Amino acid sequence: MTNGWVDIKNTDMMLIMGGNPAENHPCGFKWAIEAKRNRNAQMISVDPRFTRTSAVADQFCQIRAGTDIAFLGGLINYAIENNRIAHEYLVNFTNAAFVVKGDFQLPADTDGVFSGFNAEKHTYDRSTWNYAGSGGKPVPNPTGMSTGQNHGTPPPLPPLPENVDYDLTLQNPNCVFQLLKKHYSRYTPELIERITGISKEKFLKAADTFTSVRKDGDLKKVATIIYAVGWTHHSFGTQIIRTAAMLQLLLGNVGRAGGGVNALRGHSNIQGATDMAGLYDTLPGYLKVPTPADADFDAWMKRVTPTSSKPQPWQSFNYYSNTSKFVVSFMKALYGDAATKQNGWAFDYLPKVDRDYSWTHLWDDMYHGNVKGMLSFGMNGVAIGPDSNKNIDALKKAEWLVVGEIYPDETSEFWKSPKVIADGDMKQIQTTVYRLPCAGFAEKDGSFTNSARWLLWKNAAVPLAGDARLDHGIVAQIFLKVRALYQKEGGKFPDPILNLTWGYSDKMNPPLAEVLKEMNGKALADLEDPTSKQQIKAGQQLPGFAWLKDDGTTSCGIWIYSGAFTEAGNQTARRDPSDPSNMGVHPNWGWSWPANRRVLYNRASCDLNGKPWDASRAQVWWNADAKKWVGNDVPDFKADSPPTDHMGPFIMNPEGIGRIFAPLAAFADGPFPEFYEPIESPIDNLLHPAVSKNPVVTKFKDADDKFGTPAQGYNVVCTTFRLTEHYHYWTKNNPMNVQLVPEPFIEMAAEMADEMGIRGGEHVKITSARGNYIAKAMVTKRIKSMLIDGKKTYQIGIPFHWGYRGISEDEGRTSKKLVNQLTHTATDPNAHTPEFKGFLVKVEKV
Amino acid sequence: MSQETMRVQKISAHSGTVPGEGTQREYTVSKLIDTTTCIGCKACEVACMEWNDLPFGETVFDNTYQTMPETRWNYWNLILFNEHEKDDGSLMWLMRKNQCMHCADPGCLAACPSDGAIIQYANGIVDFQQEKCIGCGYCITGCPFNIPKFNPETKRVYKCTLCADRVGEGLEPACIKACPTGCLHFGSKEDMKDLAEKRATQLRTHYNFPNAGVYDPAGVGGTGVMYILHDATQPELYGGLPKDPHIPLAVRLWKGPVKWLGNLAMVGGIIGLFIHYLRFGPKDKEDEQIREEILVAQEKEVKAREENRPAVRAKVNEEGGEPSKGEHL
């Protein structure tokens, strides 16, 4: 989230799309209700199904799953056409005025792709996706790793120009604003109706309502956009979120209380997992991993440290210019004295990531026998899918599998799946499975990082049950055994294992408070701040990441968490609910990254002179007497930079501004989001039938990786979803949850059921090109038929909570199927998230 | 809420005076349910089960998100889900938390023939005292909201207590505490009425609900549980909430016969016969007619509920066989 849960209460307008917070985040949804109750805020719900969120929304649009970019692009078009844009914000705080290179081409110019497309390799040469201007240092290969399965390394890119050409009148035909206008002028209400199934009238009403925050020509009102995995689960998920971000920049809603683009995370700590390098291509704190192309530490730093790029008279803080401080401190946390300037801070110890190792690739590697074993904690990999059959087939080939769980699950008993039973090959499976009893969340302490980036410490509520062990204790003990083996036997390259710091008071079960202290970081030598003369003694906890150094005198496990556990103690355990500003800041409740800042980019909540756009929601402001930024929140800005400097509020971008146009290597599939159809879709792309799908998405080509088409009879759009009453694949083991919703079901339109002669409660079989799923029909008015390009089309939804282990399953009340036996393995090219939503199926009465 | 508010104010079938009668009443408590901000999350259902230590029961898929068709002796708090298509074609998915309404003039209490089995506290809570319940089921007939439910094993009737044990200690009921959106409110009746009217006004003024209003039916003397409805002119849409609930006339009439027969019983010492007469004896003509009326009304309600159900009602689970006995209770 750019903002936070409590902050939603400050909003005037909510677009909830790609998410169903009333059902999946009922506690956080309180704040959406508060906004309605206390501010008369409006709520628009856009979803393939009329959900419990839609039930309390003021408007509902039923959208065909996977057509979100068409809808959002239409909103951008509507806002521009009707002059409902935040002009002053747009010109000064975004790159709307930046001029793009003359050889850049939009999909409208090329019939479906941006300039630089290589159809053979399914990649872009992104060198034309750049600003016009002068200066700047050449950047080597932007990632150094290949972008797909069979692709070579992409060509090196030109630099961002140091001095960007710009036109504050926004009239230059090649300025970002004009390109944006041209690009989305194609997204007309008529076209949106044909693509999304949302009638022109409904779309226009929603567009009018949402952009009405700018109808008075000022920036007082604020709108928020709230989303969840309904946006990420697509082969263009990242670009959906991009479109939302651009819309919010256009309307001047980013950095503002009650505004922003807000991702609702699906686990209590999934934000924490992402922060701690949940993805293969980051190190903790979103630092970019080294690749084989990085010859040494300096080459790596040169590649990943941006230099500022902006209109000459403006300033850019370019905070990532500090990257080497974060990285060296991280290496010191990992390797202590073994990381020295001489050995490039132990650069050689780090694995060099040469290609895509994301989720589907891991399973594919196991499927092909390249991955021999798996440690599986806190997840149910078979049920997660996608294409669970492929995951089951992969596990059959593994030598070993370790599952740490509190319940027997589909992964630890993959050999009990109906598929294995049907294939009759249980006896051939040689995989050794170890199931370890792990602690539940209430049995261990530690912190949760919530969607709002707030870290909240919790204590263990109950002792470990039975023979259960702490997950991290299990991992620690495996590590200690491996290290002992390396000590004894040497091995190929023992240094990264032998030199890892392990200074915990209980080496077998590292206390999590000590781990958090390590993440926060400490001084390794006496330090002094040159301006304030504040001193920190060697060994003391650091107050925050501003103290980090790249000379080896600081260590820090994850720079964005620096400040969480200081000399003042564990900040995440703070429980002072007071909120002096009454804006939901609660500055002493837990601790949020970065620097206990609640709303990111909050300098953008003020005009050019540093005065809040809306005085009634003052977050931060420029105090001319004190010559610094102050406020109710922690300013997300260079504290002493006066407004006259014209420093951009988006300090993490080298331009200092919000990117409406995302240059160069930012995204694999385009500097502007373009609407592409899902990998399986009922129609060809109406914008450009020849390039129907996201052109850089590649597919696996194994026996289990099948894809269906309408011509083969797969003509119903299917989406997956979650219920309030259940939590992932977990609560099917809990009688209370099972009583609330006892069995799996399939939601379908009453009209469709009538046509097929299906009554509620009767069994329905759903078949995709990958597999089938059988459950009872939930016949409802909450899904309607749609006219997609004039053709009647149906959409169904399946909650994903069931499988072959659980109370109902064990009682024989279900067909023991997994929803993800239906889904396919194509993923988003940026975030690598599979397309769990918006695939094609057949529906039959059983 | 002090202990004072837990003073007994009415007692079922009690011939003498109510102890402490006539002393000044502090205030009645009230639960306010804002259906316009209810998200049907069922936290209240779970909280009710947990606080009251109610045992799990079996449920079957019934083509709805609703946990079960109606409240049970061991399930006192149930959100009713109803899909309603408005004239303009737009859909409303109405969710109403259903439980005992704690009527100011409780039909169950009026109908109860057992001394002290149903009492009303000074704070308005209507509470069943199961140790005095004789299992006659009259309270079930007396309730216009179909709330009290019979447990065939204990042969007693149960329902929501408005968490009298919590309220007596100054706490809010468990459902209120659990509600994540704050659609449930608890306080004095006066405060709740005030809050309800303000919210209804907001819904009429700022949102598209010209008929928004408060449900606090006068026919039962007002209720200790009030609703804010998007459309107060059509309470039936919310799972058959009666538009103008009354204590069945039969129950009112029994007040006379009960007293008269009670005297007779004392004189003749034929209490057993009296009970038998009431439960199974020849039916009074007038009584019969009123019962008929109740049946018709109930049928109507069931029908209305059926019609509000999405498309078609599910058949009972085929694989799992018939639901357990408890299912229908």
H or E element, residue B198: helix B189-206
Task: Give me the torsion for CA of B163, B169, B172, B175, rounded to 10°.
Answer: -30
CB contact under 8 A, A33 and B320: no
Partner residue opposite B83 with nearest CB, options A27, A780, A811 = A780
Q: Assess A778–B contact: CB distance below 8 Å, yes or no.
A: yes
Q: Is the pLDDT of residue A255 over 90?
A: yes
- pLDDT, residue B311, reads 38
Q: Is the pLDDT of residue B319 over 50?
A: no
Q: What is the CATH code for B3-249+284-318?
A: 3.30.70.20
Rounded to an integer, the average pLDDT of A317-332 is 98
CB contact under 8 A, B182 and A30: yes
Neighbours of A171 (CB within 10 A): 10
The whole-angstrom distance between residue A624's C-alpha and the CA centroid of its chain comes to 38
Q: Assess B18–A contact: CB distance below 8 Å, yes or no.
A: no
- Region of residue A571 (phi > 0: left; psi between -120 and 50: alpha; otherwise: beta): alpha
First to last CA, chain B: 33
Four-way CATH pick for A6-89+185-266: 3.40.50.1370, 1.50.10.10, 1.10.8.60, 3.40.228.10: 3.40.228.10
Give the Cα separation of A677 and A1 in Å (integer): 27
Q: How is residue A170 written in tokens? A: 């926004």
- pLDDT, residue A734, reads 95
Give the Cα separation of A226 and A241 in Å (integer): 10
Q: Assess A748–B contact: CB distance below 8 Å, yes or no.
A: no
pLDDT mean across residues, chain B: 83
Residue A23 to chain B, least CA–CA distance (Å): 7
Give the Cα separation of B187 and B224 in Å (integer): 10
- Please tell me the pTM assigned to this model: 0.92
CB contact under 8 A, B39 and A60: no
Q: Pick the residue from chain A with its C-alpha nearest to B53.
A: A736
Q: Is the pLDDT of residue A152 over 70?
A: no
Q: Assess A757–B contact: CB distance below 8 Å, yes or no.
A: no
pLDDT tens sequence across A578-617? 999 999 999 999 999 999 999 999 999 999 999 999 999 9
CB contact under 8 A, B93 and A753: no
B276: number of CA atoms within 13 Å, CB side? Answer: 4
- pLDDT, residue B13, reads 81
Q: Assess B208–A contact: CB distance below 8 Å, yes or no.
A: yes
Q: Which DSSP state fits A651?
A: T
Q: Is the pLDDT of residue B290 over 70?
A: no
Q: Is the pLDDT of residue B179 over 90?
A: yes
| CA distance to A142, A175, B199, per residue, from A521 (Å) | 29, 43, 50
* Domain residue spans of chain A: 6-89+185-266, 286-309+319-353+506-572, 359-498, 710-845
pLDDT above 70 coverage of chain B, percent: 72
| CA distance to A361, B258, B283, per residue, from B278 (Å) | 75, 9, 9
pLDDT tens sequence across A679-730? 999 999 999 999 999 999 999 999 999 999 999 999 999 999 999 999 999 9
pLDDT band at B323 (very low <50, low <70, confident <90, very high): very low
Give the Cα separation of B257 and B253 in Å (integer): 7
Residue B164 to chain A, least CA–CA distance (Å): 24
CB pairs under 8 A between A and B: 140
pLDDT above 90 coverage of chain A, percent: 95
Rounded to an integer, the average pLDDT of A751-759 is 98
- Region of residue A491 (phi > 0: left; psi between -120 and 50: alpha; otherwise: beta): left
CB contact under 8 A, A735 and B56: yes
| CA distance to A351, B28, B215, B282, per residue, from B126 (Å) | 69, 11, 19, 31
Four-way CATH pick for A710-845: 1.10.10.10, 2.40.40.20, 1.20.140.10, 2.60.40.10: 2.40.40.20
Q: Which DSSP state fits A58?
A: S
Give the Cα separation of A414 and A396 in Å (integer): 8
Give the Cα separation of A3 and A225 in Å (integer): 10
Q: Is the pLDDT of residue A220 over 60?
A: yes
Four-way CATH pick for A359-498: 3.40.50.740, 3.40.50.80, 2.40.30.170, 2.40.160.20: 3.40.50.740
* Surface-to-core class of residue B53, CB atoms within 10 Å of its CB (0-12 exposed, 13-18 middle, 19+ buried): exposed
Pair A716, A843: CB distance under 8 Å: yes
Rounded to an integer, the average pLDDT of B212-240 is 97
Radius of gyration of chain B (CA): 20
CB contact under 8 A, B314 and A813: no
User: Where does A759-803 show beta strands of DSSP type E?
Assistant: 763-767, 772-780, 786-788, 791-793, 795-799
| CA distance to A295, A345, A371, B128, per residue, from A492 (Å) | 21, 20, 19, 76
Amino acid at A119: A
pLDDT band at A163 (very low <50, low <70, confident <90, very high): very high
Q: Pick the residue from chain A with its C-alpha nearest to B315.
A: A761
Q: Which residues pair with A225 in a beta bridge?
A: A15, A261
- pLDDT, residue A143, reads 56
Identify the residue among A51, A62, A202, A781 best suited for mutation to test binding to B, counting B beta carbons within 10 A and taking the highest: A781
CB contact under 8 A, B310 and A740: no
Chain B residues with CB-CB distance to A778 below 8 A: 61, 63-64, 310
pLDDT band at B266 (very low <50, low <70, confident <90, very high): low
Q: Which DSSP state fits A288?
A: E
Q: Pick the residue from chain A with its C-alpha nearest to B66.
A: A740
CB contact under 8 A, B311 and A753: yes
Q: Assess A328–B contact: CB distance below 8 Å, yes or no.
A: no
Q: Any residues with CB less than 8 A from the CB of A242 and at least 6 apart, and which? A: A662, A667, A673
Residue B172 to chain A, least CA–CA distance (Å): 19
* Domain residue spans of chain B: 3-249+284-318
DSSP letter string, B206-241: HSS-TT-EEE--GGGT-BSEEEEES-TT-GGGTTS-
Identify the residue with better confidence: A565 or B291: A565
- pLDDT, residue A421, reads 86
* Surface-to-core class of residue A640, CB atoms within 10 Å of its CB (0-12 exposed, 13-18 middle, 19+ buried): exposed
pLDDT tens sequence across A449-464? 999 999 999 999 999 9
| CA distance to A143, A466, A664, per residue, from A153 (Å) | 9, 51, 15
pLDDT mean across residues, chain A: 96
- pLDDT, residue B248, reads 86
First to last CA, chain A: 43
pLDDT band at A837 (very low <50, low <70, confident <90, very high): very high
Residue B193 to chain A, least CA–CA distance (Å): 17
DSSP letter string, A521-588: -EESS-EE-TTT--EE-TTPBPS-GGG--SSSSEE-S-GGGTTSEETTEEGGG-B----TTSSS--TT
Q: Is the pLDDT of residue B304 over 70?
A: no
Q: Is the pLDDT of residue A619 over 90?
A: yes
What 3-state DSSP class applies to B102?
coil
Q: Is the pLDDT of residue B307 over 60?
A: no
Phi, psi of A226 (to 5 degrees): -120, 130
Identify the residue among B52, B61, B202 best suited for mutation to test binding to A, counting A beta carbons within 10 A and taking the highest: B61
Chain B residues with CB-CB distance to A34 below 8 A: 182
- pLDDT, residue A136, reads 83
Chain A residues with CB-CB distance to B203 below 8 A: none
pLDDT tens sequence across B118-132? 999 999 999 999 999
Rounded to an integer, the average pLDDT of A418-430 is 88
